[in-house]
Amino acid sequence: MIMHKCELKDLEALREISIETFSDTFAADNTPEDLKTYLDRAYNKEQLLTELKNPNSFFYFIYMDGNLAGYLKLNTGLAQTEEMGAESLEVERIYVRTAFKRRGLGKKLIDFAIETARELNKQAIWLGVWEHNDKALAFYKSLGFEQTGAHSFFMGDDEQTDFVMTKRLGD
């Protein structure tokens, strides 16, 4: 497994894996119209370019056996999607391609996020998880995350609830 920090030249690969993995994860639970609206807004080239240029956001690809297997987006400071304070790091996106699931890549990505948070002297790491994504909720709980709140997530016109899951980082 190899981690690679995304650069501007990775824009198209980032866009492709973002659309693919988000669709694979959520298409069955949403209308095609709501999914398309979300994908067009969140993963258009201009939006991703803005995110890649943000000095408080960081994208990383994870490769397995030379193949792009997934990615991670981390936010600090004002790039966080909720006001969680300067001592927190957000995992905004963590996705693994279907062919690479159940190989430990999700844990590797979370471990990398925790390591990054510690390097940046953060006291907590947090993320939002759709309230109906039972597998993800169980995964994060198994890693020591606890539900500390909730916020709205809009899939097109459909308002959904994400649970805010937080893990305090000890010494």
Q: Is residue 71 part of a domain?
A: yes
- Mean pLDDT across the stretch 25-48? 93
**Residue for token pair 């936010």:** 75
Q: Is residue 50 part of a domain?
A: yes
Q: Is residue 144 part of a domain?
A: no
Q: Is residue 87 part of a domain?
A: yes
Q: Is residue 28 part of a domain?
A: yes
Q: What are the helix (H) ranges across the chain?
A: 11-26, 32-42, 45-53, 105-119, 134-142
Q: Is residue 8 part of a domain?
A: yes
Provide the pLDDT for residue 157: 85
pTM: 0.92
Q: pLDDT tens digits for 117-143?
A: 999 999 999 999 999 999 999 999 999
Query: What domain range is 85 assigned to?
Result: 2-123
Q: Is residue 166 part of a domain?
A: no
How many C-beta neighbours within 10 Å does residue 1 have? Answer: 15
Q: Is residue 169 part of a domain?
A: no
- Look up the CATH number of the domain holding residue 115: 3.40.630.30
CB 129 within 8 A of CB 137: yes
Q: Catalytic site residues?
A: 140
Q: Which residues on adjacent β-strands are paired with residue 80?
A: none
CB 167 within 8 A of CB 143: yes
Q: pLDDT tens digits for 47-98?
A: 999 999 999 999 999 999 999 999 999 999 999 998 898 999 999 999 999 9
- Mean pLDDT across the stretch 23-43? 93
Q: Which residues on adjacent β-strands are paired with residue 96?
A: 70
How many domains, the chain?
1
